[in-house]
Amino acid sequence: MKKIQTFFLLVFELAILCLTLYYLRIGLEMSHSDDMRIIMPILVDVAFLALFASFGRRLALFFGTAPMAGKIIMGVLVGPAFFGVLDAYSVGVELARVAGVLFILFEAGLHFDPLLLKKNTALATRVAVVGVRVPLCTLGLFGYFVLDMSIVSALFLGGIFTATSVGLSVELLKRANMLQTNLGNKIVGGALIDNILGVIILTTLLKVSQGYTAVAPFIIILLVIGFFVIGTYLLWVSGVADKIAQYLDRHYANDGTQLYTRFFFGALILASAIAGVAGLEPVLGAFGIGVVLSKVDNSIKKTAWEKIEGYTHIFVGAFLVSLGTMLPREALLSWEVWLLALIFTGLGFFGKYLVKYFFAKEKDGRLVGYAMSIRGEVGLVFITVALTHHMFDAIYASAALLAVILVSILGLILFQREVLGKKGKKKLKPLVEGM
């Protein structure tokens, strides 16, 4: 009985929040002040995304599933697919989506150990290469022979399911207290290589679709990626972070860790922007600068990150909710979209899950397979680029987007269930208290 009351309380609170956002936005649009009409809606969207993330967590705990999956589902509910109080492509939602991924990858870099990855480079590379090749080929062949797509469009379809969401995987490992473990390092390493390969595939397909046949653009991309990897490692080895900290201590007023907190934040945004300008994904820049700064004195790193972490929770939750808002209502009402989405989900999931056979321990292999099956930012980039260049029609695009969400939720749930099994737990404690 108490559980039923909790559910109806959650529904009531969610309805109140949706109505508040709806009428608040109408009021802001009617304002004569530019600040109220232009700037405030952005801040309101970010704030409400964070609030909806809390509701998503409650929803997940109520049903005993992964909190991250609950937040994505909450995004589907409040997005255009159901209540329509959040626009997936409004400036505030886009801002939260980008910022959330950057914060996640920055934290992953701070806790990443390049020496540990060095020991696992061969394994992580094999996992990534197989995890990219299998879905690229299976879904590409399915698109070409079954759906009668052009070869480039079919490869775009396969490309959507090649890259693992580093952001979601890192957040998942963090919640499972596995981020700094050897297995967690293998997962993050494999996911990063996945993303690098995904960027290469995306760039190549985009150039081919635009009629490029010269080799030079592709060589430039490979050189930039190589420079990024080597440069990050050299900066980490040289201990440049400690040298910067010493410089700040000598030349700037000592105001506790506030100076370092501002420096960490500025370095995160700067590195992400530089990576984007260089033709790479900004998330790689965020991760790289996190790795470089991980060498700074532990007391500085700990206290500075503690101050940034509060904002991280806001943007990470908002990022998860924003993924769900990208699903249009038409996708949920079309049987053809659902059929294709389920096929894409099955092929996409098992294409990544096969990497479990690289691990001697079956449980470790399953955990890696589940984590690597989670899609996200790079898959969404593929869909966006494919739509922009008219590679897909609306049905295929909606099915691919729905499949990205479904396979991510499936991977999240199975990973958490496996972790709970390793810890001797059967299920999460049901939520019975109010918010």
Residues 121-171 have pLDDT tens digits of 777 788 888 888 898 999 999 999 999 998 888 988 898 888 777 667 777
Any idea what DSSP says for residue 244?
A: H
What is the C-alpha to C-alpha distance for residues 281 and 350, in angstroms, rounded to an integer? 26
What is the C-alpha to C-alpha distance for residues 99 and 120, in angstroms, rounded to an integer? 30
Question: How would CATH label the architecture of 91-422?
Answer: Up-down Bundle (1.20)
Lookup: tokens for 44:
């309101």
- What pLDDT sits at residue 29? 87
Domain ranges of the chain: 2-78, 91-422
DSSP H/E element including 164: none
* Residue 257 CA from chain centroid, whole number: 29
255 in helix, strand or coil? coil
What is the C-alpha to C-alpha distance for residues 409 and 17, in angstroms, rounded to an integer? 24
- What pLDDT sits at residue 381? 63
Residues 265-292 have pLDDT tens digits of 999 999 999 988 887 778 778 888 988 9
What is the C-alpha to C-alpha distance for residues 348 and 408, in angstroms, rounded to an integer? 10
The whole model's pTM is what? Answer: 0.76
196 in helix, strand or coil? helix
Mean pLDDT by 10 residues, the chain (435 residues): 81 91 90 86 92 90 78 90 90 88 81 71 80 89 92 87 76 78 80 75 71 66 80 88 85 70 90 86 83 83 78 84 85 90 93 82 83 73 68 84 86 81 52 33
Q: Which amino acid is at 223?
A: L
- Give Cβ neighbours of residue 292 (< 8 Å, ≥ 6 apart): 109, 232, 235, 236, 240, 241
